[in-house]
Amino acid sequence: MGSSFTDSPGVAFLGAAAPRHVAAWARAAERAGLGSVWLIEDYFYPGAFALAGAAAAVTERVTVGIGVVNPYTRHPALLAMGLAALRESRGLGVQVTDEGIFEAQRALAREEGVFVEPSSAAALTAVMQLVARKAVDPEQTIVLVLTSSGLKDPGASRAWLPEVPAAGDDFDALLGVLRERYGLELHG
Amino acid sequence: MVRLECPRCGALYEDGRLFTGCPRCRAEHVPVNLAVKVDVARLAHLATEGFPATPRGLWRFRALLPVAGERPVTLGEGATPLIHLERVGRRLGLPRLYAKDESQNPTWSYKDRLCAVAVTHAVETGARVVTIASTGNHGASTAAYAARAGLPCVIFTLASVPATMKTLMQAYGAAVVACPTPEARWALMRQGIERLGWYPTGGFQAPPVGSNPYGIEGYKTLACEIAEDLGWRAPDLVVVPSAYSDGLWGIWKGMRELRALGLVADVPRMVAAEPYGPLAAALERALETPAPVRGEGSIAFSIATRYGTWQGLAALRESRGLGVQVTDEGIFEAQRALAREEGVFVEPSSAAALTAVMQLVARKAVDPEQTIVLVLTSSGLKDPGAPRAWLPEVPAAGDDFDALLGVLRERYGLELHG
């Protein structure tokens, strides 16, 4: 939840119909380019915290706000608990480039021994971007769903793979090839 | 202290780096691979419940493996399904025909069982570089486990290496170099091992003696999983596509150890499926050790070799098994049957296991009541070009639904209207 909700127009949802429509309305608001979505909490209206969770779950960018919460009828601990849950419930969409995908595919194969197709590597690309933006807490447990095997599209990785060099005529020549072509210093 | 034992002469060795077979038998011109000596008395307490449920896969059976395995180099290998081939089995009159689908391993072949154990042994013994001579599954698997262990990997291959295999090995970060001949690769590899202490996961001498004996112990877990999935009973037949018979021998060794520990009552007969048939020929001619046979090319490139090994032949003899020579035509028929009738797509070399069974059925050499397990060693995705020999072009769907029904009828023999 950013602090930019004053930068662009927003929309507030209230009334008995809000629970049924909140997900669709929040998505539509985001698609329409609005900057914020507000859930109104007042007596005998549907509770804003549950609605905010639903809105956050189906949107990526739009700011979700609660306006307003009555601090006298809601215990401060409950208020903190609700906000903590909302802060963590927002999923993210991360756009990835081919370059970033190759980087991730290479890292998974070379550093972990896991060879997946480019579409699957995109999951790691997304995490790499989030790390670069400092958008992930290092203490978090993160699971990448690697959807399919690299064997489905072996041609794709050829973009970052070298030709196979000749081994050379003797062992010293081989060590030279390994050094020059693969950066391996293996002598003695 | 893990000791190596010669299965032929019984000599025991304490040198952990004997990767070229039994020196004593070699002096008699009989190449024999060494095998890890398992102390059955020390394991006598093992019960089937003694194998923990987690972590899933190969490392459940670490009590039988020659490594400490406290920090195994693992990608989740093993725990592959034993699939009941009901449709193919019904057609062949074999109601208890099963496939152990090893294409579901991390690099899509059963070599991962060997490489997980071998590379763990490499790390535990302080190796700094891993090496292999390979044009296929063994190289790809070695590269992956070396990557997992964070060790450099040098792979000697041939210019003729299939594009998919080359891609796999290099993707995992191995330094892949090409040699003009198999003998040239082995000569260079040997120098890396002898001069710089590189750790080999496969063999490097002519005539071939077999792979790293510690890694071969990993294949014993195939015996464990098969027996466990059958209610701790050995099947009657285990059919393994074989070249130098690392897998065949490892499974046989595992079955024997399970019997010695009282975990299964019987052992299976082992069957080798081989394109050129060196083991079948050696049995037929009652040779003590296999002699090279003729071979003029096979679609089953992973196992097409003119050489058999002493221990492969020994596994067949000791188990009263047999070798079955298979043709390309028979392999395609089996590959097609597995894919179309069972939904299991394997590489031609793997399909050879079913081809062998089809031949035995035609010769009336199997009892229909027997439980038969085919070891399907690797995925069809390793060589997607091979099945093109039996696959049609994709036809256009047609302009409307009636045209589509016509296309489905004419091109695929499907009668789907109303």
Instruction: Check B178 against A167: CB less than 8 A apart.
Output: yes
Among residues B94, B77, B344, B353, which one has the least CA distance to residue B225? B77
Indicate if the pLDDT at residue A6 is higher than 70.
no
- Co-location of A37 and A61 in the same domain: yes
Residue of chain A whose Cα is closest to the Cα of B171: A109
| A43/A129 Cα distance (integer angstroms) | 42
Indicate if the pLDDT at residue B69 is higher than 60.
yes
Between CA B181 and CA B190, with CA B187 as vertex, the angle to 5 degrees is 140
Q: What is the pTM of this model?
A: 0.86
- Co-location of A151 and A111 in the same domain: yes
- Is B3 buried (19+), middle (13-18) or exposed (0-12) by CB count in 10 A? middle
Residue B410 lies in a domain: no
Q: What residue ranges in A14-140 does DSSP mark as E strands?
A: 36-39, 63-66
Task: Name the DSSP class of A108.
Answer: I
- B148 interfaces chain A, CB cutoff of 8 Å: yes
| A22/A40 Cα distance (integer angstroms) | 12
- Co-location of A72 and A104 in the same domain: no
Of B177, B195, B210, the one marking the end of a domain is: B210
Which residues of chain A does B168 touch, with a Cβ-Cβ cutoff of 8 Å? Answer: 115, 150-151, 154
What is residue A4's predicted lDDT score, i.e. its pLDDT?
46
Whether the CA torsion B353, B356, B361, B367 is positive or negative: it is: negative
- Co-location of B298 and B231 in the same domain: yes
Whole-number average pLDDT of chain B? 96
Of A34 and A59, the structure prediction assigns the larger pLDDT to A34
The B130-133 sheet, strands edge to edge: B175-179, B153-158, B130-133, B199-200
Instruction: Check A167 against B147: CB less than 8 A apart.
Output: no
What is residue A3's predicted lDDT score, i.e. its pLDDT?
43
| B297/B349 Cα distance (integer angstroms) | 13
- Co-location of B221 and B368 in the same domain: yes
- B95 interfaces chain A, CB cutoff of 8 Å: no
- Co-location of B239 and B301 in the same domain: yes
Indicate if the pLDDT at residue B126 is higher than 80.
yes
Sequence-distant (6+) residues with CB within 8 A of B53 are B60
Residue A179 lies in a domain: no
What is residue A188's predicted lDDT score, i.e. its pLDDT?
61
- Co-location of B351 and B301 in the same domain: yes
| B414/B404 Cα distance (integer angstroms) | 11
- Encode A164-187: b = buried (16+ Cβ within 10 Å), e = exposed: bbebbeebeebbebbeebbebebe
Residue of chain A whose Cα is closest to the Cα of B149: A112
What is residue A2's predicted lDDT score, i.e. its pLDDT?
42
User: Measured between CA atoms, how close is A98 to chain B, in angstroms?
Assistant: 17
Which residues of chain B does A166 touch, with a Cβ-Cβ cutoff of 8 Å? Answer: 177-179
| B111/B141 Cα distance (integer angstroms) | 6
Of B189, B210, B231, the one marking the end of a domain is: B210
Of B178, B210, B242, the one marking the end of a domain is: B210
Residue B150 lies in a domain: yes
- A110 interfaces chain B, CB cutoff of 8 Å: yes
Which residues of chain B does A177 touch, with a Cβ-Cβ cutoff of 8 Å? Answer: 177
Indicate if the pLDDT at residue A8 is higher than 70.
yes
Residue of chain B whose Cα is closest to the Cα of A108: B172
Indicate if the pLDDT at residue B363 is higher than 90.
yes
- Co-location of B257 and B317 in the same domain: yes
How far from chain centre, in Å, is Cα B87? 24
Residue B25: enclosing H or E segment and its boundaries? helix B23-27
Residue B63 lies in a domain: no
Between CA B135 and CA B188, with CA B200 as vertex, the angle to 5 degrees is 70
- B158 interfaces chain A, CB cutoff of 8 Å: no
Q: Where does the pLDDT of residue A89 fall: very low under 50, low under 70, confident under 90, or very high at 90 and above?
A: low
Instruction: Check B177 against A166: CB less than 8 A apart.
Output: yes
Instruction: Check B178 against A171: CB less than 8 A apart.
Output: no
Largest CA distance in chain B: 75
- Co-location of A31 and A81 in the same domain: yes
Structure tokens at B6: 């010669």
The B237-241 sheet, strands edge to edge: B82-84, B97-101, B372-376, B237-241, B269-274, B322-325
pLDDT in tens, A150-188: 999 888 888 889 899 999 999 999 999 999 999 999 876
Q: What residue ranges in B180-315 does DSSP mark as E strands?
A: 199-200, 237-241, 269-274
Are the C-beta atoms of B30 and B289 separated by less than 8 Å? yes
Q: How many Cβ contacts (< 8 angstroms) between chains A and B? A: 103
What is residue B140's predicted lDDT score, i.e. its pLDDT?
97
Phi, psi of A4 (to 5 degrees): -100, 20
Indicate if the pLDDT at residue B101 is higher than 90.
yes
Q: Where does the pLDDT of residue B418 fall: very low under 50, low under 70, confident under 90, or very high at 90 and above?
A: low
Residue A146 lies in a domain: yes
| A188/B129 Cα distance (integer angstroms) | 12
Which residues of chain B does A151 touch, with a Cβ-Cβ cutoff of 8 Å? Answer: 108, 164, 168, 379, 381-382
| A97/A178 Cα distance (integer angstroms) | 31
Residue A29 lies in a domain: yes
Q: CB neighbours (10 Å) of residue A33? A: 10
- Co-location of B175 and B266 in the same domain: no
Instruction: Check A186 against B129: CB less than 8 A apart.
Output: yes
- Co-location of B244 and B373 in the same domain: yes
Which residues of chain A does B196 touch, with a Cβ-Cβ cutoff of 8 Å? Answer: 186-188
Helices and strands (H, E) in chain A, number of each type: 7, 3
Structure tokens at A71: 């601090």
Q: What is the mean pLDDT of residues B149-159?
A: 97
Instruction: Check A157 against B171: CB less than 8 A apart.
Output: yes
Which residues of chain A does B382 touch, with a Cβ-Cβ cutoff of 8 Å? Answer: 151
User: Measured between CA atoms, how close is B343 to chain A, in angstroms?
Assistant: 17
Residue A171 lies in a domain: no
Residue of chain B whose Cα is closest to the Cα of A152: B381
Residue B52 lies in a domain: no
Chosen for mutation from A105, A108, A148, A186 (greatest number of chain B CBs closer than 10 Å) is A186
pLDDT in tens, B365-403: 999 999 999 999 999 999 888 888 788 899 999 999 999
Of A43, A69, A89, the one marking the end of a domain is: A89
Q: CB neighbours (10 Å) of residue B377? A: 30
What is residue A14's predicted lDDT score, i.e. its pLDDT?
80
Residue B122 lies in a domain: yes
Q: What are the residues facing A13 on neighbouring strands?
A: A39
Q: What is the mean pLDDT of residues B86-110?
A: 98
Indicate if the pLDDT at residue B160 is higher than 70.
yes
Phi, psi of B84 (to 5 degrees): -75, 115
Percentage of chain B exceeding pLDDT 70? 100
- Co-location of A69 and A18 in the same domain: yes
- Co-location of A16 and A82 in the same domain: yes
Of A157 and B409, the structure prediction assigns the larger pLDDT to B409
Give the domain extent around A53: 10-89
What is residue B296's predicted lDDT score, i.e. its pLDDT?
87
- Co-location of A122 and A155 in the same domain: yes
pLDDT in tens, B182-202: 889 999 999 999 999 999 999
Q: What is the mean pLDDT of residues B28-56?
A: 92
| B249/B217 Cα distance (integer angstroms) | 9
What is residue A1's predicted lDDT score, i.e. its pLDDT?
41
- B177 interfaces chain A, CB cutoff of 8 Å: yes
- Co-location of A109 and A151 in the same domain: yes
Mutual angle of helices B220-229 and B246-260, in 10-degree steps: 60
Instruction: Check B152 against A154: CB less than 8 A apart.
Output: no
Residue of chain B whose Cα is closest to the Cα of A173: B188
- Co-location of A40 and A65 in the same domain: yes
Chosen for mutation from B109, B112, B168 (greatest number of chain A CBs closer than 10 Å) is B168
Give the domain extent around B336: 82-108+215-384
Residue A53 lies in a domain: yes
- B185 interfaces chain A, CB cutoff of 8 Å: yes
- Co-location of B238 and B283 in the same domain: yes
Structure tokens at B390: 């039996």
Query: Which of A29-38, A40-49, A76-85, B16-25 ranks highest by mean pLDDT?
Result: B16-25
Q: Where does the pLDDT of residue B171 fall: very low under 50, low under 70, confident under 90, or very high at 90 and above?
A: very high
Instruction: Check A177 against B177: CB less than 8 A apart.
Output: yes
pLDDT in tens, A44-83: 778 888 888 888 877 777 788 887 777 777 788 888 887 7
Instruction: Check A171 against B152: CB less than 8 A apart.
Output: no
Three-class SS of residue B150?
coil
Are the C-beta atoms of B244 and B211 separated by less than 8 Å? yes
- A147 interfaces chain B, CB cutoff of 8 Å: no
| B292/B309 Cα distance (integer angstroms) | 10
- Co-location of B228 and B205 in the same domain: no
pLDDT in tens, B212-257: 999 999 999 999 999 999 999 999 999 999 999 999 999 999 999 9
Count structural domains, chain B.
2
Among residues B157, B130, B158, B156, which one has the least CA distance to residue B142? B130
pLDDT in tens, B275-301: 999 999 999 999 999 999 999 899 998
Instruction: Provide the CATH number for the domain around residue B178.
Output: 3.40.50.1100
What is residue A91's predicted lDDT score, i.e. its pLDDT?
67
Are the C-beta atoms of B3 and B213 separated by less than 8 Å? no
Instruction: Check A187 against B192: CB less than 8 A apart.
Output: no
| B118/B245 Cα distance (integer angstroms) | 17
- Co-location of B123 and B244 in the same domain: no
Nearest to A112 among B148, B177, B379 (CB): B148
Count structural domains, chain A.
2
pLDDT in tens, A95-144: 899 999 999 999 999 999 999 999 999 999 999 999 998 888 899 899 99
Q: What is the mean pLDDT of residues A27-52?
A: 84
Indicate if the pLDDT at residue A13 is higher than 70.
yes
Residue with tokens 């970033």: A100
- Co-location of B293 and B144 in the same domain: no
- Co-location of B235 and B87 in the same domain: yes
Instruction: Check A110 against B196: CB less than 8 A apart.
Output: no
Residue A33 lies in a domain: yes
Sequence-distant (6+) residues with CB within 8 A of B386 are B299, B335, B347, B348, B380
Are the C-beta atoms of B347 and B354 separated by less than 8 Å? no
Nearest to A167 among B143, B171, B188 (CB): B188
Predicted-complex ipTM score: 0.92
Task: Summarize chain A as % helix, strand, coil (round to 5).
Answer: 50, 10, 45
Largest CA distance in chain A: 86
User: Measured between CA atoms, how close is B157 to chain A, in angstroms?
Assistant: 9
